[in-house]
Amino acid sequence: MRAWYRLTALRVEGARNFLIRAVLNPDKPVVLGATFEIAGIKVEVDRQLRAIRRIGEEIEASGAVTNVGPTGQQPRAREGWLPKSGGRRHAVRAEEGARGGEVQAALRRRRFQPGRRSDVVQFLADTVNPIEVFRRFRSRSARQQPNPRNRLVDVTDPTTGKTRGVSYEEFKDILKRTGNEQEIAEDALGLLAGRTPRGPHPRLAAEANTWVIHQEGHRNIGALATHAMALDMAVRGEATLQEAVDRAPMSPGGAPQEARHLTRYLNESRQGQVNTSRKWVLRADQLAQRELQMIKLWVESLKDLKIRDSATAQEKERELILEIRRRIHEIYGLREGEAAGADDFLKSLENTDVIL
């Protein structure tokens, strides 16, 4: 019913004939600690949100392992330097075939941070010129310390050819003016599996990939999954790329702080230590609502969801979580053996903290 329309809060009541109730100013969490229905399957919200983060952790961890590689072999994605006028610039260089997990691992685990200086994410390919995406630090005050999670990605305007920092609203306008939103989405998503952009706007696709997936994924590990869902919907024609960017859970202002609160909530609630009346829990709940909405929209847009009709309610929830995991692994090109088995993954949702 809500589709792409945003409410301040959403309450789901009942199991089969559930009632969706909009709440403008909730004084307690609306979805955290509750149950939610996705594709007719009742899921525990907290478990689903932990699962999304564990999937993101698997993607990054598999990339870190691949980046180490055999002795004497260059990592697929690694930190380094690029020349610039009067010196050199920090860079993360992604070789042809580097998947999203490798790039995210290189960004998260780099030894030398650019601090207040700009840096580059460079995508290399044998058949095309390197695609360079510029990122920079912007402070609100001279005292603000650089945070690698909060760098700004510059975007190239195809009309003017100028590259600059833009807001999400400006970014959506740039995407619309290209007239090639689906092709850009295909190339941005394809980079996650190590495919070189082949469409009419390869640099813009790389910038979208770096901003929407990697920068937001660095702020919130769960965005590696939920933002990939948004791009996948655009690729399959279930939404325009503008709509996908707008629905990306980390797109609103204040989302990075909400992500920190939600990570804290999920870890404390797992141990039964959280006080849900605290204001920071309400902030966490805002991001939780957007993530659930994205998961629900994406899952219900899939045409061949593999869930057994004969399964019990609990089995259906497990199968749904594993089906989401399988499909996100597929988007990132994860191969068999690069992540834990299904049982170990499900156990980790109950006994392991999630990371930011």
Hey, which residues does 90 pair with through a beta bridge? 81, 119
- From the number of C-beta atoms within 10 Å of its C-beta (0-12, 13-18, 19+), residue 163 rates as middle
Q: What is the mean pLDDT of residues 148-152?
A: 86
Owner of token pair 């989302």: 255
Q: What is the mean pLDDT of residues 6-12?
A: 47
What's the pLDDT tens digit per position in 35-79? Answer: 999 999 999 999 999 999 999 999 999 999 887 766 556 788 999
d(CA 294, CA 227) in angstroms, rounded, equals 8
Q: What is the mean pLDDT of residues 288-304?
A: 96
d(CA 133, CA 131) in angstroms, rounded, equals 7
Model confidence at 27, in pLDDT bands (50, 70, 90)? low
- Return the higher-pLDDT residue of 15 and 244: 244
Q: What is the mean pLDDT of residues 114-132?
A: 86
Which of 7-16, 175-184, 195-204, 312-321 is predicted with the least confidence, judged by mean pLDDT?
7-16
pTM, full prediction: 0.91
For residue 182, pLDDT beyond 50? yes
**Per-domain residue ranges for the chain?**
26-351
What's the pLDDT tens digit per position in 193-236? Answer: 999 999 999 999 999 999 999 999 999 999 999 999 999 999 99
What's the pLDDT tens digit per position in 90-113? Answer: 999 999 999 999 999 999 998 888
Reading the block at residue 127, the tokens are: 């058949």
- Render the burial of 274-302: b for 16+ CB within 10 Å, e for the rest: beeeeebbbbbbbbbbbbbbbbbbbbebb
Positive or negative: CA dihedral 208, 211, 217, 223? negative
For residue 176, pLDDT beyond 60? yes
- When the pLDDT of each residue in the chain is averaged and rounded to a whole number, the result is 89
Which of 149-153, 294-298, 299-303, 337-341 is predicted with the least confidence, judged by mean pLDDT?
149-153
Q: What is the mean pLDDT of residues 3-30?
A: 50
Residue-level pLDDT at 78: 92
Residue-level pLDDT at 304: 87
Residue-level pLDDT at 24: 54
Q: Which of 116-120, 146-150, 201-205 has the highest mean pLDDT?
A: 201-205
Residue-level pLDDT at 86: 73
Residue-level pLDDT at 321: 97
- Return the higher-pLDDT residue of 8 and 338: 338
Which of 24-33, 87-96, 155-164, 288-297 is predicted with the least confidence, judged by mean pLDDT?
24-33
Q: What is the mean pLDDT of residues 140-149?
A: 74
